[in-house]
A and B are shown apart, each in its own frame.
Chain A
Amino acid sequence: MSDASAGDEAGVEPTDAERTGSDPVLSLSNVDSGYGEVQVLDDLSMDLNAGEIVCLVGPNGAGKSTVLKTAFGMLTPWEGTVEYHGRDIGGMAPEDIVREGIGYVPQTDNVFGSLTIEENLRMGGVARNDDLDEVIGRLYDRFPIIDEKRGAKARTLSGGQRQVLAFARALVMEPDVLLIDEPSAGLAPNTADDVFEDVQAVNDMDTAILMVEQNVTKGLGISDWGYVLDQGTVRFDGTPDTLLNDEEVSQLYLGG
């Protein structure tokens, strides 16, 4: 939910005052995390509520992708907790977290290039016991662009089509939460717009989305809430309008 009047407030100190819903499906609390010896996240806390699109923005190296990787078990939090529906999933393996109901779309290499579109979707559903064909059928209906190319190898797809397939692969599990790393990276502006529409379409399917995005205006434009990260921790959070209209945030972190 965005609320233009909020931008008039003096500060954008972290506050949940105007945020709809207080029903976090995914919460990171006081998380430290990193790669090997290198710490990236420093006492980071954030929430994703049911039905929301939340966008993480901030300069390169702020730790945006690291948040997603820590939430998805590709990195184990050094300190703090990652809770999904109130249960601590910190350090669980990705293949188990998928079964809990969280999906992840990496920024690059997010399809199996040598497998067909159909096979990519089947791989997305390896943890499903039932209704696989039915779910895949629904995804073809939702994304006709991949329906036309079921038997084609994924490496033959264009950048935009590939991104759609990457979403669809993650959606076969019908997750409650989808983590998306830079959906518009490397795409032409028009294609990026289509991808953002697809993100909204996924959100309309009752999937809460936590997204990292370099394109701040467009990323926040479709979001309900934004977090500005710097040096591994949350500097500001608020509605997209609040963040985009705040001078300090704009100058320091949003490139103008």
Chain B
Amino acid sequence: MSVIELAANGVVYSSIIVLASIGLSLIYSIAGFANFAHGDTMTVGAYATLVAFGLIGGVGFTILGVPLGFFAAVGVGIAAAAVVAVVTQRMVYDALDVGSIGLLITSIGIAFIYRALIQMGFGADTVRYDIPSLRPIESLQQYGVLITAHDLATVLSAALLVTGLHVLLQHTDLGRKMRAMADNPDLARVSGIRTYRVKLWSWVIGAGLAGAGGAFLGLFNQLSPRMGFNLLLVVFAAVILGGIGSVYGAVLGGFLIGMIVEMTPLLSRVGVPIGIEYAEAVAFLIMVAILLVRPTGIAGDTAEGGGV
């Protein structure tokens, strides 16, 4: 496989990692704990998309080989992930007075519950969306790039969502409040920000993006109850690499980790005998190396004043 082909695959895989990383980082910075149920929130989004797509159907048109109805179903998947996360926040995390480590451990239990419920409903086997697989786009093949229209739809959708989040964070009142809360929660309250509401919105946005990531991960591969959990360590690596708590760092970290994983085959090309089965291990090694030089992550604040 050529470098450019690996890079193209990397971009597709990174898009999914980025969607998941943003939510994990956002929830970390505003809700104050590392949410181990985030991967399984992706799975919730994927299966909700599956169900919704089954009900909605294709609805005629296709965009980049993806039926219009599927995009509507992804919207349902996003909403479902957001609702599940908000309900969990209100019923479980909010009701517990256990500190950030206690919440982290609680979220591991929540992850098991999400996964078990999905497995009870849909079985442990892999399933696929009812969308025919596509051959790689021919006009790109001459450049050695083997990606399908579905891959392109995934990348463009992720770019659209990330751009939307950027606009929200920088140019809306809610976005400014979210950044203020991530920066200094005490001062946010002192300034009169209703922090509880902002926190709920962070769950909606963070889990919604994870749901979208899960839906597209299902399109990229297939669906299984462990699909999100299997990705969780990579997503954590991306968030830590970018600088935990920073949304823009998470975008960068997600992109880098996704690229590193997909470009690992290049190593054997230059004489380093490491197979693709070690792709994630290579990504973690590079993460450790970068953190040794820059312990706060790439976009992490070295001094005071964090922020998304």
Contact = CB atoms under 8 A, between A and B. Distances in A.
Interface of A: 72, 74, 93-95, 98-99, 104, 106, 109-115, 119, 122-124, 126-127, 153-155, 169, 173
A113 B191 contact: no
A99 B192 contact: yes
B180 A155 contact: no
B292 interface: no
Given A94-B190, A95-B194, 10 more contacts: A95-B195, A99-B192, A106-B190, A109-B304, A112-B188, A114-B179, A114-B306, A123-B177, A124-B192, A169-B191
> 7 tightest A-B contacts by CB?
A113-B305, A114-B307, A127-B192, A98-B192, A112-B183, A155-B305, A114-B305
A212 B190 CA distance: 17
Given A123-B176, A154-B305, A112 B193 contact: no
B305 A98 contact: no
B189 interface: yes
B192 A113 contact: no
A114 B301 contact: yes
Interface in B143-187: 173, 176-177, 179-180, 182-184, 186-187
A155 to B, nearest CB: 5
Contacts of A113: 183-184, 301, 303-305, 307
24 contacts: A72-B190, A74-B190, A93-B189, A94-B190, A95-B194, A110-B187, A112-B179, A112-B183, A112-B184, A112-B187, A113-B183, A113-B184, A114-B182, A114-B307, A114-B308, A115-B179, A123-B176, A123-B188, A126-B191, A127-B192, A154-B305, A155-B303, A155-B304, A169-B191
A94 B189 contact: yes
A115 B183 contact: yes
Given A106-B190, A123-B177, A112 B195 contact: no
A161 to B, nearest CB: 15
B304 A126 contact: no
B193 A126 contact: yes
Given A95-B194, A112-B307, A119 B187 contact: no
A111 B192 CA distance: 14
